[in-house]
Structure 1
């Protein structure tokens, strides 16, 4: 572990809400090492050579081609980036695994789903929970692409409520095998997987148990498959139902302990959520680049449409979301990597360190999953709009990009579930004393009772007002969430619409702060004059975030207060979402769009 990691003030998960973060203490895409840049270039070259020219084949449901491309990715080492070297992986850090997941996902949702399902939920449960014997037997095959993995959790009656699955595991009389029987659905990679991570219930256990189940076509062992699902998007991602009929699984293939399956599922999904955010990043960049190129080439009323204000606004918003999503994703990834390094230095095993490192930032993982999956949908939708009628045609890349993006809001836990989780986990952390919410919430309550200051602060430094605004947005969350917890206590989880409002406020705070910190760090390195578009994006995102916080704050406050309490909180909301110097949003957008037009691509 580096001295830099030890000396850096690394916040615990969720503490961003109550503690100030310095720009020097976050990692940004501008901080990639030479090794990471080389890896990024290798992945991009693979995508440009093998995947992008063959987009049409993915759209034609060519599952064999997806498998072929997965084998080529494995030959390049891409399927083993997160696997320790002793199991024939590359043993790269968490940021590097995010980077590969990011750039390999730029062209086709079909391929990125296959890649993510194999390297994430198909492999990591064994890496993180397997015995040494299980890891030695299975992980090298998965890391090298000799075998491909799939993950069998969802059932017809068990989606978001995953622990309600009906699949059974019955111990044989000789005690040497479990017989697994049940039905799993929406199983990515089912058509070519050699190994399944299967969750089943033993007797009447409260929680599921995980199993490693091999599949051999020549000896199906009670495993059969439904037809390939017909889906809105990700057409060449093999998605089938998997049926188990007394499938014999050796007792030594139980993953972790009996009844630990639900915990495995939750922790692996935390990793899946932040990796899903990464998998939406290059999709945004490439969509923006295609939209900019088209807008520069498309002539209407004797001028390229990129010169029209309506198009500039779209391009600026698309680029801003991508830039902010990058900032937040790599900020959290480095936090996780540093926490893993600290735990390993303290004597934790690699398994324990990675599990606890990711679990620490489960709130941020849920935030990113929601924010980035929704931004990629907006970006592809606006991409279609910029292409106009051509965007609706399957002959342009926008149509398939839009369809592929839609699934991101559903898998790895729906966005609704992740919104509820983000606030719920934060409240639980506060109850455990890991994040002090009560003290800051009481301070905000006292501030509301006091007389506000009418002094106008000095805003001469870059982002001085923006940082003050973010601090005020945090007060909005503390005000709303603090009062809600005080009123409802443990029954708060029953008030989902209020929690959804609080979650949207929390999300905007983390994303906006990440953008400001990334840009402040860049300004210190490059100089303010040289990064005007990035400064514009950070300011534009915050401006939009303030609007969201204001709207969601009003909705939340009105849902559980009345009379004097409501009037006081609404006055607080108005105070905490008020700019002293309102930014010129049109000018910000034009600065961003003009840079995109000049570079003819996403260039940040």
Structure 2
């Protein structure tokens, strides 16, 4: 992997310029990783896709059978160490499985819940005895896992859980009581990761088996999408759980819950990439087949514009998600998962919590956009269940709710940044002081004149965007101080700015890295998509900045700040209509998402 030994700190991207060699991109996939991707595609095309209708009717037996077939191929044990029956592969390999398995529709959710949030708590936070007992069966699919955090009265507020655990008099078992809600795989899972409060106070995690007396499930939920996945309540009535099934120490459940959610947010982004690529392929193929007014609708500029926008969002999502995956792999690769690495793993995963939340928000919203446009290109047929785009559209909606709602994640992004600054983990305050001196002095307009250097104008725009965020964020912090967490609209705007800056930088670095390796001609499509995206979102940064400043300042101070904003958001408009037509041409020629020029 071409990720530098010293991984950038979480949130550091907003303060410093990143180097193209410090990030992982899809162009860095090695042959083994590409082989795993091909194997996953073959499995889905050969075994899962032909049974889509049966899966959507909630055929438990079929889903479990397919999961076990996936286990035989090694598609359940990628993250599990070899010592416990898995393959012990890198995080990019498991990501590629997640990206390509989404074409299995609801099956992909059953698979993802099992290998991700269901199994990873034991892989990462279990002790050697727990790993030896449970992981071999989870790697083959002999046992299926589920993750139980949400409750009827607590969703995003996970620590508000009411499920209790009380140690019995003999000190041999914890007695669990409570109900968990919206549990994926609940209808056929054998192993549940359950969160409960010991003595009603210490939030903790337990491994609970289906066969333990007192474990039962409620009826299946009737859902808008992901209909072929099992979603039920888990009911715990005086369930005796052996003390050796406690994950970590009492009161450490939050470290497990939040960090598994962090990985879940990243994996959601990977799945969104796969679904977006699928939607683009369906839309372009349909647009070339469908004729109106005696011509293929793919020839209509407005259809081409949609296809270009779908491809651009997917390109940016792919860039920022796999960049983050590179950070996750670099942070985790030194850990020996055969041993007890509880605290080390928690620290390693938590480091890039900001980036995981960014991936979750951007990816889920990008997929919603792509799926919506895919339906629109299909016209009336996009509304018919016979066409897969209809299922993609319905299934995509849950992603903005999964793994913490997008609203909660938006609050976490700037909130975590400020918290780390207060802890001295990021030099945010020092950067603000330096920037304040720079902005109050003479500041010449940004020079966006023609340059021979690739994406030079966009590089300068990115630098200005970071200054804009720091100026606006610093103003908000100075006004509200410790009470800024109450100003959710302000935090949302700051979050949107951070998400957009991370997206812009990821696309820029990816295009530059590709050009440095393969030449500018080979990277032309990536360069075009990067330039188009900068133009598309640039005015949003100005809008969010102005909203925050008007809410936090007034009079001469506000007028001065707005004049600085005007200088920072200066841009050189380009002909995006022509640019997008060229992008669409490449996608339509390929009849699928592509980032290369022939």
Q: Alpha carbons of 1:418 and 1:89: their partners in 2 closer, same or farther (altered >3 Å)? A: same
Residue 67 of structure 1 and its aligned partner are, at CA, apart by 2.0
Separation of aligned partners in 2, 1:351 and 1:302: 64
- Structure 2: where are the runs of 5+ without partners? none
1:77 and 2:74 correspond: yes
Secondary structure of 1:170's aligned partner:
strand
Residue 451 of structure 1 and its aligned partner are, at CA, apart by 2.2
Separation of aligned partners in 2, 1:437 and 1:348: 36
1:271 and 2:263 correspond: yes
Alignment of 1:471-486 (within 5 A): 471-486=463-478
| Residue 210 (structure 1) aligns with | 205
| Residue 100 (structure 1) aligns with | 97
| Residue 160 (structure 2) aligns with | 164
Q: Which of the numbers 521, 524, 527 marks the counterpart of 2:516?
A: 524
| Residue 495 (structure 2) aligns with | 503
Q: Deviations over 1:24-61 (max 9, x none)?
A: 22111111111111111111111111222332223323
| Residue 190 (structure 1) aligns with | 186
Residue 8 of structure 1 and its aligned partner are, at CA, apart by 4.5
Separation of aligned partners in 2, 1:529 and 1:512: 21
Please, what TM-score do these two structures have when normalized by structure 2? 0.96
Q: Which of the numbers 436, 440, 444 marks the counterpart of 1:449?
A: 440
Secondary structure of 2:250's aligned partner:
coil
Residue 178 of structure 1 and its aligned partner are, at CA, apart by 1.4
Separation of aligned partners in 1, 2:260 and 2:593: 32
Separation of aligned partners in 1, 2:64 and 2:564: 56
CA contact (8 A) 1:341 1:353 kept: no
CA contact (8 A) 2:446 2:570 kept: no
Give the superposed CA RMSD. Answer: 1.9
CA contact (8 A) 1:340 1:353 kept: no
Residue 458 of structure 1 and its aligned partner are, at CA, apart by 5.8
| Residue 353 (structure 2) aligns with | 362
CA contact (8 A) 1:130 1:256 kept: yes
| Residue 129 (structure 2) aligns with | 133
Q: Alpha carbons of 1:263 and 1:454: their partners in 2 closer, same or farther (altered >3 Å)? A: closer
CA contact (8 A) 1:281 1:326 kept: yes
Residue 98 of structure 1 and its aligned partner are, at CA, apart by 1.4
1:418 and 2:414 correspond: no
CA contact (8 A) 2:90 2:333 kept: no
Separation of aligned partners in 2, 1:353 and 1:173: 33
Residue 515 of structure 1 and its aligned partner are, at CA, apart by 0.6
1:64 and 2:55 correspond: no
| Residue 42 (structure 1) aligns with | 39
Q: Deviations over 1:554-590 (max 9, x none)?
A: 22222222112222222222222211x2121111111
- Structure 1: where are the runs of 5+ without partners? none
Q: Deviations over 1:344-381 (max 9, x none)?
A: 79x99655554332211111000000000111111111
Separation of aligned partners in 2, 1:450 and 1:143: 61
1:316 and 2:308 correspond: yes
Secondary structure of 1:312's aligned partner:
helix
Alignment of 1:252-331 (within 5 A): 252-331=244-323
Residue 460 of structure 1 and its aligned partner are, at CA, apart by 1.8
Alignment of 1:557-596 (within 5 A): 557-579=549-571, 581-596=572-587
1:116 and 2:112 correspond: yes
Paired positions, count:
594
1:89 and 2:86 correspond: yes
Separation of aligned partners in 2, 1:255 and 1:301: 64
CA contact (8 A) 1:107 1:283 kept: no
Separation of aligned partners in 2, 1:132 and 1:471: 47
Q: Deviations over 1:394-447 (max 9, x none)?
A: 111111111100000001000000111111111111112222111222233223
CA contact (8 A) 1:441 1:475 kept: no
Separation of aligned partners in 1, 2:423 and 2:146: 35
Separation of aligned partners in 2, 1:481 and 1:526: 38
| Residue 404 (structure 1) aligns with | 395
CA contact (8 A) 1:127 1:351 kept: no
Q: Which of the numbers 384, 389, 396 marks the counterpart of 1:393?
A: 384
Please, what TM-score do these two structures have when normalized by structure 1? 0.95
Separation of aligned partners in 2, 1:225 and 1:252: 24
Secondary structure of 1:221's aligned partner:
coil
Separation of aligned partners in 2, 1:511 and 1:348: 36
Separation of aligned partners in 2, 1:504 and 1:414: 15
| Residue 13 (structure 1) aligns with | 10
Residue 340 of structure 1 and its aligned partner are, at CA, apart by 2.6
Secondary structure of 1:150's aligned partner:
strand
CA contact (8 A) 2:279 2:371 kept: yes
Secondary structure of 2:594's aligned partner:
coil
